[in-house]
Chains A and B, each alone.
Chain A
Amino acid sequence: MLKYSIRRLLGMIPMLILVSIVVFSLAKMMPGDSLSGEIDPLNTNPEYIAEMREKLGYNDPIHIQYFDWITGFAQGDFGKSTRFKIPVKDVILEKLPNTLFLGLTALFITYVLAFMMGMYSGRKPYTIGDNAIAGINYIMLAIPSFVAAVFAIYLFSFKLDWFPFGGSVDILVEKGTMEYWFSRLHHVLLPALVLGAMSTASYTQFLRNDIIENSRKDFVRTARAKGTPMKKIYNVHILRNSIIPLVTFLGFDFAALIGGAIITESIFTYPGIGQLFLESILSRDYPTLMALTMLLSVLTLVGNLIADILYGVVDPRIRLD
């Protein structure tokens, strides 16, 4: 397994170099730059913009800009955000905890809902209940997240007043207290619900199909013949086997957790990585934009590796070498 991991890690290097070239060229091909939005006779003038372009190195030849960026990046220096005027690393670290908190809560909600629905559907396939669950799942998958977010705010925040409509914490509570964490949780629940409940479809249907398939296997027949209660067969014997394929999703979840939810975070004015990503595109904050894209590419690759390794761990039949 160690050999396998090392081989995979080495294989990532050329991939990352290619990704970095693509990310860099795409960013440079975007029209305008971080200064083109600043044309405002109130507080700036053409000389300032020309001077800043020179200072930021926008006038250097393209390959020099690339090598400057990639050497810094490899050494952990992501550059300085043109928008916040502080190192990109600090900007990302500031937003990361929020996004992780939201992502984990959403993932938890997804898992709980998907397990409940998937197990029910798998046990009673082709019944009204199963079809209703499938229907709901696909409707949720089809509803765009910004629509869902706006509905959720309208209903749960403005009409019922159960949850706050935005932000990550009530600024008036003292940091570090019990109340503070409660406020954090209160703020994160609604966006997490929108994110989590909307993406149950793949988990649910995967689990359902696997349970149906497993229930026709020989070991199930044997267990039934022995007189094992149906409940135990489904909840223990079948479920354990059916969870295995779900492990492949973990890799994708890993990158999605860090990547944040661009639309949902923006609508809930939740200051996380997703919102940062959107804002940095709009304001042409290249250093932040490129660092985030690279980071997500790395995480996706690493996530896939983890998924593959985990696959071997949970299912000894799969050998990695």
Chain B
Amino acid sequence: MKNKSLIWLFAIILVLSAFLAACGGNDSDTATEEADTDEGTADEKATEGEAQQGGTMVYGIDAPPEGLFSSAFYGIATDGEVIDLFDEPLIDYNENLEPQPNVASWETEDNKVFNFTFEEGVKWHNGEELTVNDWVFALETIASPDYDGPRYTNVQTIEGAEAFRKGEADSISGIEVVSDYEITITFDQARVNNLTNLWVYPLPESVLGDVPVAEMSASEWVRSTPIGIGPFKVDNIVAGESLELSKNEDYWNGDVNLDKIIVRVIDNSSVVGALQNGDVDMISLQPVTGPEVEPLENVEIVTYPGLSYYFVGFKLGVFDNETQTISEELPKYQSKELRQAMMYAINRQEWVDAFFFGYANVINKPVPTSHWNAADDSELNTYEYDPEKAKSLLDEAGYVDTNDDGFREDPNGDEFVVKFSHYATGNPTFESRAQAITQYWNEVGIQTELEMVEVNLYYDMIEKDDPSIETFFGGWSTAADPDPSGLWKADQLWNYPRYNNPEADQLLDDALNIDIVGTDQQARADLYIEWQKIVNEEVPMLYIAELEEIKALNKRVGGTEYDVSGQNNPAEWFVTE
């Protein structure tokens, strides 16, 4: 018994000393290995050697999936990542985010009526052939009043979808099946973005056809035995922790290299160790993990442009949800000079380097740079960090320190205190990054108070225009169709700054109006660039940064390509031993 306890004591000393050694050791490793780190900054990675057949790859996800493995029903990004491995859309996107045919190709003359032609011989994992009926089934499922997922917005523009949803029609009148491989879809009106908005994932009617729509999301065909048309099929699911996918021998679009993909949930605290030990071959990283992974010799980091941006918004008005209008204008931040001065006062490059570790870039407009309609920085004011300019702008606008307390008063001579809100989660860096922004403003004499708000409450307060929210930190991600109307027009709930500029709204409307721009993408882009010039000048929000997506790949993985539209076809991935 005495020996046992001594062994125990010894074990603890061992644990503690190993930890201390690890703490001390890491720094020196980083210094010496920095030189070998090759960080693929290009959006494409050239792969070494020939593609190899066979092998198993481990694909990491950082949160437990909810288990809704169906494109029509899933809610969180983790489930979406898994679906991408075993299912694919009829139409996908190229590196310029333009739609391109995958299983289906299309023709249209007027952007209202589209004729789609499917590839023949594409099979579901259960051996049934994919036909246009599976797509019709998907569209009618989503348009059903019992449907409990969030995708109806991608179907409602089809002619007759609204009537079908209200139960006035037995089918959607805008869908006309020509043959098993041909279908015509008519939209309620001609729009330039009808195709990019359309729902393009079929659902397997052969297995889900008998399930009532209300019970579909709970059915085994969604949760435990999902099927798709992609290069891998789901063999086995251990709920909440892992999935086993194996090669689809009948894949329609070329050979599949890997035999198996194991999808495994890996907690953020284990990601670095798992990568180092080769327990995971491919995983998305958070920016904060990047610097820890860079020194690993067996891991390569690939970055590619993302489609999200961060901003600091001003509350310029109050939105009335009943009438869908901005009902009231808030006076505090109406001065354009004030907003511009607050933009000049922030050293965005320094901030991004400090909190995103080089995995983000400063942005000057509310459109991620990879979109075809993004304005070039040469056409915009880039608001280089210039505290002197900020001060002179404030002086001109009348924000001067009249009572010598070190902070500026507003033009009427009253105390002026900016309130800045940031959401709080468990992440300790959020408070320091928010604090940094308040310091930039304090330095040019704008007194700033910071409030950290619990994240769920935060967006609720912003959405309801709670008076305690004045300036707020936020982020948006954009879809393949880069039209910003939903986030910017005066009649939109998600126009959080309540920016109200009829001229700018008109430009957005024109860019979607087929009578004005026709099908000419350049004409559309010109209007969007015009719009970006306005919002860049008026800064209803301070554009801070756009993020990069980061993937960590074990060096044995090959055949991968990433661009702004995401990963290439998993069929092309391979591993070398």
Which residues of A approach B to under 8 Å, CB–CB?
A: 30-33, 36-46, 48, 52, 55, 83-87, 94-95, 113, 116-117, 119-120, 129, 132-133, 136, 139-140, 150-155, 157-159, 161, 165-169, 171-172, 266-271, 275, 279, 284
Contact = CB atoms under 8 A, between A and B. Distances in A.
Given A153-B273, A165-B279, A271 B240 contact: yes
B456 A269 contact: no
B270 A151 contact: no
Nearest to A168: B241
Contacts of B476: 41
Contacts of A36: 456, 459-460
Given A171-B238, A171-B243, A269-B266, A154 B150 contact: no
Nearest to B274: A165
A274 to B, nearest CB: 12
Contacts of A266: 267
A188 to B, nearest CB: 13
B1 A116 contact: yes
B267 A166 contact: yes
Top 4 A-B pairs ranked by shortest CB distance? A32-B456, A31-B457, A271-B240, A158-B273
A268 B67 contact: no
A201 to B, nearest CB: 13
Contact of B148 (A85, A95, A151): A85
- With most chain A CB atoms within 10 A of its CB, the pick from B68, B218, B476 is B218
Contact of A167 (B8, B14, B264): B264
B454 A31 contact: yes
B413 interface: no
B269 interface: yes
B64 interface: yes
Contact of B269 (A113, A133, A150): A150
A84 B22 CA distance: 40
B64 A279 contact: yes
A153 B270 contact: yes
Contact of A172 (B4, B244, B478): B244
A275 B265 CA distance: 13
Given A85-B148, A275-B64, A37 B456 contact: yes
B277 interface: yes
Contact of B244 (A41, A86, A117, A171): A171
B542 interface: no
Interface string B236-280: 101111111000000000000000001011110110011011010
Contacts of A172: 244, 262
B270 A41 contact: no
Interface of B: 1-2, 4-5, 8-9, 12, 14-15, 18-19, 22, 64, 66-68, 73, 75, 148, 150-153, 217-218, 223, 236, 238-244, 262, 264-267, 269-270, 273-274, 276-277, 279, 454-457, 459-460, 463, 476-479, 486-487, 493-494
A155 B18 contact: yes
B486 A32 contact: no
A95 B460 CA distance: 32
Contacts of A113: 8
Contacts of B217: 85-86
Contacts of B460: 31-32, 36
Contacts of B66: 83-84
Nearest to B236: A171
15 contacts: A37-B459, A41-B479, A46-B494, A150-B269, A154-B22, A155-B15, A155-B19, A165-B270, A166-B265, A167-B264, A168-B238, A267-B270, A269-B241, A269-B265, A271-B241
Nearest to B237: A171
Contacts of B457: 31-32
A86 B1 CA distance: 51
A172 B542 CA distance: 50
B477 A171 contact: no
A262 to B, nearest CB: 13
Contacts of A159: 18
Contacts of B279: 165
Contacts of B5: 116-117, 120, 129, 132-133
A132 B238 CA distance: 43
A154 B272 CA distance: 10
